[in-house]
Structure 1
């Protein structure tokens, strides 16, 4: 089976108890809930507070996700794992751990501590790709990587040197960069499929699909998985004027929700899921849980209310 499949992926939160230990039961339930809606998991990504997790915790979460999916019959659903490290050695170890724990690919963010230049980044990714047992995707997210914003030229240059670099996630939200990467005539990847360009937010999925995106990794499916899947399915149809009109309306609904949850951050996501699923709202310090006022503001946000109502309607139809 291919390690990458077009569609919607969600960076899964890591649920904690009040003492900051991981609540593995809640993680398992949430993983299965999204899989049942067709959403593929990203374990230990930015939303999963990977920077705050121990190596053993990352491995256990991946093992659990694979076990839960397999036992529920989702044996062919791929798992992507976060594997970025502050050193190349650390990232390579995370990639090897992920492969052993059942991940099918790894998503690697640049180490932003020292403000590395392009030569450093080329060496970082090519070394990881050479030593990783599973395919590697570049994760371009300047906001959490010390402002590093990888250009399309740099991404493609790395991919040319390292066929095991099989794709990228662009959380810089540049449609133009996505188009340049997705439409470049790169040589064969180790996956046997073309270079895999993913939107880093769902709020540019529709234009992204038009220029070659293979899907999106987005936090919105954590609370509205069926709605995100509906948008994806619409985007796969021939974009006739009627379909485009429907897709634009749904895209606006999802985009507004994406903006609201992005502003609320990880504490906001935890607060919203606590409201919807009863999961624990705790984060791992130095993050702080959302205040009662912030949680209520998010839950009552018109964009969140609207998408949850749409999600409820979809659930009632199926």
Structure 2
């Protein structure tokens, strides 16, 4: 159960369901780099309206650049905006990974008090040399965080943001079986080192699917089943057939209606193969755009949001902004414009 933080709405359950989740950027005012709360609130509601779940204070949200106090401000603002817009049942997933286990545990507890429903936790890469190949230490980290967390925890496996730390499918499966408060894993990729591949996703999804897993390894919270989520959207359709549960994708900020539609078609195609060609058509458009846009990372996503919706702004230093020339090139790229056309069609804003 999750409580509203504005004192108006009653306590409501917010189940964790398969689907698409967007890691929300943290928006900053141009001169001061203070939090731009109005743009943040508007964007969270925009994403929820499209049927996409918000994930705040993740890598796309520049969590490494925001203080703990700012993180709590964002949680309260997101919950308030969602409740005011009528999205009382939309859960908030919040990144709470920190440098040490102790700090991660404290931040997770503080996030829950501020209104978060689920935590997503990455291991710090500062001492990756000692941790990357230490199965016992990595297992102990997520085990302790999950045991002490007042809310369910997702494993965030992103080698590119954790100094190359990459959990294999065996370790993730062990954590799923032994930690009832762990409710899923997000598998992301870095260039040249695949984590979010269909093979790893398939192995984990196979292990946690079916009634045998559910009955033998029940979750601590019954509304938080173990989800296996891809970290990029370019393989959503094949991962759905491998019994994956959706994706966490930065592209969901830019084209939430298109990506939500792709998820719905991919799910439907599992039982009606006549739908598969349309899912494949959308997957092609989205995969090409994802490949092109992902190269520009956070700065490029913010630039595209500015072009698409009128807000986005820049990054917080020292992360550099995208150059005007590069921004213009990415906006005008045929892959981007194909996705813009699709998004406008599906959102009714042609």
TM-score bracket, normalised by the shorter chain, equals over 0.9
Deviations 1:163-222 (A, max 9, x none): 111110011222111111112154111232542111111111111111111111101121
User: Which stretch shifts more, 16-25 or 186-195?
Assistant: 186-195
| Structure 2 counterpart of 1:184, from 193, 207, 232 | 207
- Contact 2:304-2:312 at 8 Å conserved across structures: no
Shift of 1:241: 3.9
Distance in 1 (alpha carbons) for counterparts of 2:90 and 2:104: 24
**Corresponding residue number in structure 2 for 1:140:** 157
Distance in 2 (alpha carbons) for counterparts of 1:279 and 1:82: 23
User: Which stretch shifts more, 231-240 or 257-266?
Assistant: 231-240
Shift of 1:274: 1.2
- Contact 2:146-2:179 at 8 Å conserved across structures: yes
**Corresponding residue number in structure 2 for 1:287:** 319
Deviations 1:70-98 (A, max 9, x none): 11110001110001111101111121121
Change (3 A) 1:238 1:309: closer
Aligned to 1:149, the other structure's residue is in SS state coil
| Structure 2 counterpart of 1:173, from 193, 196, 199 | 196
Q: Give runs of aligned pairs for residues 1-318 of structure 1, distance below 5 A.
A: 1-18=13-30, 19-115=32-128, 116=131, 117-171=134-188, 172-185=195-208, 186=213, 187-192=217-222, 194-239=225-270, 240-316=272-348
Change (3 A) 1:292 1:161: same
- Contact 2:72-2:114 at 8 Å conserved across structures: yes
- Contact 1:5-1:78 at 8 Å conserved across structures: no
- Contact 1:182-1:195 at 8 Å conserved across structures: no
Change (3 A) 1:21 1:209: same
Unaligned runs of at least 5 residues, structure 1:
none
User: Which stretch shifts more, 166-175 or 232-241?
Assistant: 232-241
User: Which stretch shifts more, 163-172 or 178-187?
Assistant: 178-187
- Contact 1:2-1:191 at 8 Å conserved across structures: no
Distance in 1 (alpha carbons) for counterparts of 2:69 and 2:261: 36
Distance in 2 (alpha carbons) for counterparts of 1:280 and 1:227: 20
- Contact 1:9-1:217 at 8 Å conserved across structures: yes
Distance in 2 (alpha carbons) for counterparts of 1:274 and 1:212: 35
What RMSD, in angstroms, separates the aligned Cα atoms of the two structures?
1.5
- Contact 1:3-1:135 at 8 Å conserved across structures: no
Distance in 2 (alpha carbons) for counterparts of 1:74 and 1:98: 19
User: Which stretch shifts more, 92-101 or 129-138?
Assistant: 92-101
Aligned to 1:184, the other structure's residue is in SS state helix
**Corresponding residue number in structure 1 for 2:3:** none
Unaligned runs of at least 5 residues, structure 2:
1-12, 189-194
Distance in 1 (alpha carbons) for counterparts of 2:330 and 2:165: 30
After TM superposition, the score normalised by the length of structure 1 is 0.96
